[in-house]
Structure 1
Amino acid sequence: MSDQLDTSDIARLLNISRSRARWLRTDPGFPEPAGRNETGSEYWYETPVLRWAAGQESSLADQAPLLYRPASGRPAPYLSATALDGHLMLSWASELGKVGFLHTPGPAEVSKTPRALQRLVSLADVAVLVGVNGGLWNMWGPELCAVDADRPDRPYMPRWTDVQQAIGMPVPYWIPGLNQPQKMARWRPGSPPAVVPARHPYLDTAPLLRLFSDEPDASTAGQAALALAREIDRRFTREIVSEINAIHKAMDKEAIALATTVDPLPRAAELDEVILRDGWAQILARTDQLARDCVGLALSWDGGFSFPYGDLAELDPQRSPYAREFIARLQPTPATAGHSVTERTPVHTWSDPATDAPAITSDDGLVYAAVPFRIPSTGELTEAVLHDGQVWIRTSDDTLYLAPARSGNGLSWGYSGSGPTTLAELLDRLLDDITTPALHASTSPDDFPRGLFELVRGIPQNGSAVLTRAQLLAARRQD
């Protein structure tokens, strides 16, 4: 049966003859046609037809889903909260039959999709099983899905008001992430919302909090770990508050009883960037599993935005003499938490003695090196090298560094775009201060000397260049 129902479809839907379906269409209360198809014929949608049928005589009402049928709205006896194949089902003895409302501790709202409910209704011993449909929303609120036990092949989407009318009270709703099993099992009709601290459903901040508790009070590593744990929980708290506000604005808001609310987090002072990056440098240098877990959380959260590394460089010693020069100074080191930033299985693990940045040799023969957020030198820029897609900076003590770069804001040349503009601005700043940190992508031509941009733009993308300090200063003066 298609989404657009004609008279024959309505007859099959209501299990009546086509002639009776034509006659029912003349009933003043029958739904108005939803429109006309390409042939000019009228069509209807299933839900309005079934809702109309639910209020008719029993032969028609029996064809409608249970929750569409009229109910008095008197409070139904609440039965219990019972475990059901890893879920928690609340149940009521309604006048329409036993109503089960399914919840899942944790974030797994996807478990209440139509297919899952069709499987679970046979285990539930209820007349109808209802759940939130995979975290989807519509104008009424979080989208519901229901399956009647006597017709499991026909899932449908009731409104919250339908369930409220059946059980005679607002329907309890636990926001994913605040749905703790113990609090859910203790719920009773009329219970006030339980106050629950927000904990991200997919990112467990426990390793960060443990590292913080293990460190001395003045430890920058402990402060960095705590700052990330607070950031994760604070942002998730904002998401929860946003969902609570959305429920308060939903059309079925009076039918939804929030069973939990969030415990607001106190506003903490922002940690100084120098302390933050130093703290993560200490964590990244550790070899224990707790440090690795914390680094993994940071990578999952924001790609390690506060690490002392801004990007990852892929270096091929067969193609680039500068890569060979850089690789030659690497020193072997035990695998640290920092080596996980490469997100590859290492054959060898290294450290750059000039920056302490980790590097690995992969099984493909390439070297993957973390790019320092800034160059730790007291010298000055003597040349910038553009070769094999990589930007190198040589300083007055003849040390070769990977140019500071942020992940997602790469440095490049040979065209008009954010890569060359960011490179031009970075070179401008490095000429005056070699410790300039990696830049966000440049957005305005006024942010850097135009001559430097024209210089790097004019170098072919697949070409290379060694730009001396004198050349860079001369280009800068051409504005």
Structure 2
Amino acid sequence: MGVSSSYLSKAEVQRLLGVNAFGLWRLVRKYDNFPQPTEPPHDPFAALRDKKEPEEVWDGTQVSRWAAETPEFSHRGAVLVRPLPENPAPGRWAGYKDTVRGPALDWQTALGVIRIVHSDDRQVATDVASALAGSGNPDGVTTVCALYGDMGFHGPALVAADTAHPGIEYEASWGNVAALAGHDLPWWPDLLRLPQLIRQWQPGAPAAVAEVPPNENEKTLRRAARNNTFDTAARAAVTDMANSIRNNRIDHTAHDNEIFGREGYGERPNPVVIGAVPDTTRHPLPCDGDRQALKDGWHKLALSSHPDAVAALEVAVGRDPDLLPFGTVTEVPVQPGAISERWARRLTMCDPTAAHAVLAHGDTAEAFFIDPLTDMPVLRTPGDGGKPAWRFYAPLSLPDGGAELASVVLHHTVWATTSDGHVHPAPCTPTEHLWWGDGWGDRPSEAATVVDALLDDLGATINLREHWNAPKGLTKLFNEEHQHGAELTRSTLLHARMTPPRTR
């Protein structure tokens, strides 16, 4: 997406403009708006070679646009930036083409063949133009256009690269290309930008009605939904999420068509023809069912050892982690004498579940455990540099059993000690983390919110949606630079909560 940068040496600028060294010197003095040389792109391997003064370079896009807009050199500049010919001969559609970067349509125009590649990936225009130049350009293409991925004033924004200078990309106007083509240009929404649809298009054809293809996440969830190893609740949970993904993709596609097919900013509508619309025969599919029932289904999947459960859980972690029975992923070093050692003594070794596999995230695990008091999966990893570490999900809440918070200990995360002698990682939601100290302007209000709730109810379910409203005194306390292993007693925490910081 966007225009790729290109840099020209002094010799390359001379070749582009058809001048010698003296001619370039003359241009710099004749034209005040001639592009200035710029810093060369960073070369990370320069230090490995002989150190030399970096050669002056010019931004290729700037030089090419300057030439197109300067009468003396317009014939050497970017083709689609040059002034349009007066009363150009009407263009015509020249059919479908496969390219090294995806499907394209050709248009025969007064400037030659313009090839539009229906992709908004980076460097598409350059890659296709380079492939044409390298093969002798048998189709006589003058310019390759690709989609910028955004909306311009007269239709979708375009990136162009001329086959004469394929390494230089520049922005082009959809309206200008349409005027040269003599036809409103077709555009396909991202999820329906399929070769078979573009191949079948012809001027005057109605928009194709096509099924939006499933992405990998939806395929993964549908596969799990068909797996009879899982019970009804688990299959219903993955089906609900798969349906939500499908609904979102169809809605996104329809919205794209509305944005790119709407009338433009001027008196005339944008010269855009929508190439395909999503099939909405069964849209929307049922989703967003009872949250508790969905959570129960995902909990059962987390306890499974089937690979389909692992794959489905990885999708859920990225899409809706609040449905899972775990808090944020936390890692602390295995350290004798630390507060984590007291907690680790009660861990029970177990066979790995889907939750353990997702927690490992492809890393090596030495052993798998479960915390018998919170049911949180835990694993021990070799760690970086041979330093073993505990990795676990923070619990969403703590068992109270009539106990109360006795203190918190700060050791790579926040730990809670209770009046009945237990140690727990403090509870935390999946998308937040607990920390302390100076956050360079950001304050540890998450930790303050958690401690505030635990002081009143050890078994409280944590809600961090408005953590910035935590008691100011507690936030100030956690904003201080405490050493690892520092313990803050219940009395200290209560005093901080009731003592707002003084204003200066």
Same topology, TM > 0.5: yes
Kept in 2, the 8 Å contact 1:373–1:437? The answer is yes
Kept in 2, the 8 Å contact 1:359–1:369? The answer is yes
Give CA deviations for 1:17-41 in whole Å, capped at 9, x if unaligned: 98xx99xx9xxxxxxx996999xxx
Give CA deviations for 1:107-132 in whole Å, capped at 9, x if unaligned: x6225142443224545623234232
Q: Say which of 378, 388, 393 aligns to 2:416.
A: 393
- Alignment partner, residue 85 of structure 1: 100
Distance in 2 (alpha carbons) for counterparts of 1:145 and 1:459: 51
Secondary structure class of the residue paired with 2:393: strand
Give CA deviations for 1:66-117 in whole Å, capped at 9, x if unaligned: 555537567645343232335223224445444432235xxx6225142443
- Alignment partner, residue 335 of structure 1: 352
Kept in 2, the 8 Å contact 1:117–1:131? The answer is no
Quote the offset at 1:430 in angstroms.
2.5
Distance in 1 (alpha carbons) for counterparts of 2:264 and 2:32: 24
**Are residues 1:367 and 2:381 paired?**
no
Distance in 1 (alpha carbons) for counterparts of 2:443 and 2:170: 51
Distance in 1 (alpha carbons) for counterparts of 2:105 and 2:34: 43
Q: Say which of 374, 395, 409 aligns to 1:355.
A: 374
- Alignment partner, residue 292 of structure 1: 310
Secondary structure class of the residue paired with 1:389: coil
Quote the offset at 1:325 in angstroms.
2.3
- 365-374 or 323-332: which moved more? 323-332
Aligned length: 444
- The residue type paired with residue 350 of structure 2 is T
Structure 1 pair 155–415 and aligned structure 2 pair: CA distance change class (3 A): closer
Q: How does 1:379-458 map to 2 (within 5 A)?
A: 379-395=402-418, 398-407=421-430, 409-413=432-436, 420-440=444-464, 442-445=466-469, 447-448=470-471
- The residue type paired with residue 280 of structure 1 is W
- The residue type paired with residue 344 of structure 2 is I
- The residue type paired with residue 209 of structure 1 is R
- Alignment partner, residue 41 of structure 1: none
Kept in 2, the 8 Å contact 1:421–1:442? The answer is no
Structure 1 pair 315–182 and aligned structure 2 pair: CA distance change class (3 A): same
- The residue type paired with residue 380 of structure 1 is A
**Are residues 1:229 and 2:242 paired?**
yes
- The residue type paired with residue 433 of structure 2 is G
Q: Say which of 260, 270, 275 aligns to 1:254.
A: 270
Q: How does 1:12-91 map to 2 (within 5 A)?
A: 13=17, 47=65, 50=68, 63=76, 68=82, 69-70=84-85, 76-85=91-100, 87-91=102-106
Secondary structure class of the residue paired with 2:223: helix
- The residue type paired with residue 424 of structure 1 is A
Distance in 2 (alpha carbons) for counterparts of 1:71 and 1:300: 54
Distance in 2 (alpha carbons) for counterparts of 1:281 and 1:437: 17
Secondary structure class of the residue paired with 1:434: coil
Quote the offset at 1:359 in angstroms.
1.4
Distance in 2 (alpha carbons) for counterparts of 1:424 and 1:64: 61
Distance in 1 (alpha carbons) for counterparts of 2:405 and 2:147: 62
Secondary structure class of the residue paired with 1:204: helix
- The residue type paired with residue 345 of structure 1 is T
Give CA deviations for 1:422-442 in whole Å, capped at 9, x if unaligned: 333323323443332233265
Give CA deviations for 1:322-381 in whole Å, capped at 9, x if unaligned: 311222222223332212234332122222222222211111311111112222554432
Distance in 2 (alpha carbons) for counterparts of 1:48 and 1:234: 47
- The residue type paired with residue 135 of structure 1 is G
- Alignment partner, residue 328 of structure 2: 311
Quote the offset at 1:60 in angstroms.
8.1
Distance in 1 (alpha carbons) for counterparts of 2:69 and 2:91: 22
Structure 1 pair 188–274 and aligned structure 2 pair: CA distance change class (3 A): same
Structure 1 pair 379–135 and aligned structure 2 pair: CA distance change class (3 A): same
Give CA deviations for 1:208-239 in whole Å, capped at 9, x if unaligned: 12323446998443343234334444555565
Distance in 2 (alpha carbons) for counterparts of 1:321 and 1:232: 44
Kept in 2, the 8 Å contact 1:342–1:360? The answer is yes
* Identity score, percent: 22
- The residue type paired with residue 288 of structure 1 is H
- Alignment partner, residue 49 of structure 2: none
Give CA deviations for 1:124-147 in whole Å, capped at 9, x if unaligned: 623234232553665454432334
Instruction: Please provide the CA RMSD for this pair.
Output: 4.4
- 305-314 or 431-440: which moved more? 431-440
Kept in 2, the 8 Å contact 1:422–1:440? The answer is yes
Structure 1 pair 223–231 and aligned structure 2 pair: CA distance change class (3 A): same
Distance in 2 (alpha carbons) for counterparts of 1:292 and 1:178: 30
Quote the offset at 1:179 in angstroms.
1.0
- Alignment partner, residue 187 of structure 1: 201
- Alignment partner, residue 460 of structure 1: 482
Kept in 2, the 8 Å contact 1:330–1:352? The answer is yes
- Alignment partner, residue 30 of structure 1: none
Kept in 2, the 8 Å contact 1:372–1:402? The answer is yes
Distance in 1 (alpha carbons) for counterparts of 2:288 and 2:477: 39
- Alignment partner, residue 56 of structure 2: none
Q: How does 1:182-221 map to 2 (within 5 A)?
A: 182-198=196-212, 203-214=216-227, 219-221=232-234
- Alignment partner, residue 112 of structure 1: 124
Quote the offset at 1:169 in angstroms.
0.8
Quote the offset at 1:457 in angstroms.
5.9
- 272-281 or 215-224: which moved more? 215-224
TM-score (norm 1): 0.74
Kept in 1, the 8 Å contact 2:443–2:475? The answer is no
Distance in 2 (alpha carbons) for counterparts of 1:451 and 1:92: 68
Structure 1: 5+ residue stretches without partners? 4-8, 26-32, 39-43, 54-58
Distance in 2 (alpha carbons) for counterparts of 1:389 and 1:278: 31
- Alignment partner, residue 29 of structure 1: none
Kept in 2, the 8 Å contact 1:418–1:442? The answer is no
Secondary structure class of the residue paired with 1:254: coil
Distance in 1 (alpha carbons) for counterparts of 2:223 and 2:458: 37
Distance in 2 (alpha carbons) for counterparts of 1:327 and 1:73: 79
Kept in 1, the 8 Å contact 2:338–2:485? The answer is no
Structure 1 pair 226–121 and aligned structure 2 pair: CA distance change class (3 A): farther
- The residue type paired with residue 325 of structure 1 is R
